[in-house]
Chain A
Amino acid sequence: MMTTSNKLTNKDFRKSFWRTFAMGASWEYSKQLGPGYAYAMVPLLEKIFKNKPEKLKESLERNTEFFNVSNFCASTVMGISASMEERYAEDDEFDPTTISNIKASLMGPFSAIGDSLMMGTWRIICTTIAATFALKGNIIGPLIFILAYNIPTTLIRWYGLKYGYKFGVGFLDKLNSSGTIEKLSYYSSILGMIVIGAMTSNYVVINTPISFGQGKAKLTLQADVFDQIVPGLLPLVAVYIMYKLLKKGVSVGWIMLGTFVLGIVCSYFKILVP
């Protein structure tokens, strides 16, 4: 049926792969990644609809529709939809709205991988490891951060595109049926929690110079009470209060401003010291 010249090759995928890095340029509130998605699809669409200019017009315009998923996950969706665009190019009966529907249904699971797994958890772990070096001024810190985050995402970006195309719509069924995505995000959120707990103890610094009594009976709140019973109690309380404020819907800017005001007031009355 199809002439070999229309078949997508590694070269086409490479062009599209590079474009996915730049697809965010046209991001905008109403269509979000949509126009950028079409931009990254251009090399594939040009090939698929080589001798079908009318369908190319329809497809390019259709692909600008609303779309949003973590950048590095978009390529997998592109691979899957490219396999469907191919079917659409061959078959005049094929309804292209199917492609739109499947694209829309892919956003959920891929956002789960992208936002919660990679950006929400893996990035935190990269930061943790990087921060131990960077806090000492060691260049290894930022380097580890960049490499540890980008090696896995770049692999997903490339192989997602290729395997998404190869397995088509069946790709997601395969991932979903074994519950792989859910399991990954469950275990990684556990790891994330452990690391955030450890960072709360290590990286939040709150010192109070308050003391009671004098001479031998002198009792300093920090060294004699907090550090003996629960070291890091004040940081824990700070995180708890901030969390509650966020839950109440207090905005980021106000909480930051409030922290500054609190810091200055407590410093003036010598309640807290650097």
Chain B
Amino acid sequence: MKTFLIFLVAIFGYAEYFLFGRSQTYRPIVMCALTGLVLGQLSTGIIIGAQMELSFIGVQEIGLSTPQDMVSASIVGTSVALQTNGNFATAITFGLPVSMVVLFVQNLVYVLVSPVFVKKCEEIAARGKTKLYSQFTFWGGTLLHFAPSILLVTLTYVLGNHFAKSIVSLIPKFVQDGLVVASEILPAFGFAMLLEVIMKKDVFPFFFLGFLVAAYLKVPIMGIAFFGVVLVVIMYFRDEQAEKNNASNAGVSDDDDF
């Protein structure tokens, strides 16, 4: 029964791509919570999800790159952690390798089979068969690109059920501590990835503004986000005013020319 529910959670996760229109429901903050719900430990699942989300916060698919398969990492990682009374460190230690295997299988399909599939789509389109085209692109794409991942996740969940406990008990204490240390540093990596995307010289100081307010004044993050909104609105009005002044100055100097 639980295996079947995990299977459904896996379908829900990958539906992100073929049914949910990239609604971000595949992210750890949602997937780990669902896994926790299925395994009867909702609130632990949510906590693991929040920690994993912060580590993967910079992972974002832009165009070509698919840097991580967060669905498998979330489901497999959380289920192993919950069954071994583990924490986020356990989840990421087990989730990460599995997600790399899943990612590899996905890419294998994309490189070897998908080009043939897309050729076929084009042929059907050229014949103007709208119904057949719709069914073929949707069902063909779904089965080809996502069914393997869904099955892999379910399979590793079943295997993890059997082996996870004995593997975890073999790991020495300092390694387990080390994994926790690493998992607490990982959000730094997530934030660095975000910075890489949006960092520009003219907005760089605002990073320190947020950092210093949090570090010295201990304002909760929500508060800082609201202060940020107010600041941006003030800046917007000032910029608008400056633009207007510039425009009217330009108008005056035009008149002077006459």
Contact = CB atoms under 8 A, between A and B. Distances in A.
Nearest to B68: A252
Interface string A41-81: 01001100000010011001101100010111000000000
A29 B109 CA distance: 11
B75 to A, nearest CB: 15
Interface in A122-155: 123-125, 127-132, 134-139, 141-142, 145-146, 149-150, 153
Contact of B215 (A53, A196, A230): A230
A20 B196 CA distance: 30
B229 interface: yes
B184 A201 contact: no
B224 A194 contact: yes
Nearest to B55: A256
B187 A61 contact: no
A146 B21 contact: no
Given A125-B225, A135-B47, A145 B178 contact: no
Most interface-central of A115, A202, A205, A265 (chain B CB within 10 A): A202
Contact of B191 (A138, A187, A239): A239
A260 to B, nearest CB: 5
Contacts of A98: none
A64 B133 CA distance: 11
A35 B114 contact: no
A181 interface: no
Interface stretch (A6-14, A164-172, A242-250): A242-250
Size bin of chain A's contact surface: 35 or more
A220 interface: no
Interface in A10-50: 19-32, 35-36, 38-39, 42, 45-46
Contacts of A137: 42-44, 46-47
Given A26-B138, A273-B177, A243 B192 contact: yes
Contacts of A200: 188, 191, 207, 210-211, 214
Interface stretch (B57-65, B151-159, B244-252): B57-65
A159 to B, nearest CB: 15
Contacts of A123: 24, 60
A260 B194 contact: no
Interface of B: 17-25, 27, 29-30, 33, 42-44, 46-47, 49-51, 53-54, 57, 59-60, 62-64, 67-68, 93, 96, 100, 110-111, 114-115, 117-118, 121-122, 125-128, 130, 133-134, 137-142, 145-146, 174-175, 177-189, 191-200, 203-204, 206-216, 219-222, 224-225, 227-229, 231-232, 235-236
Give the top 3 A-B pairs by smallest Cβ distance, nearest first.
A197-B210, A263-B182, A264-B178
18 contacts: A25-B138, A25-B141, A25-B146, A26-B140, A28-B117, A53-B128, A119-B62, A124-B194, A127-B29, A132-B220, A134-B33, A139-B33, A141-B46, A190-B228, A198-B225, A204-B185, A247-B196, A263-B183
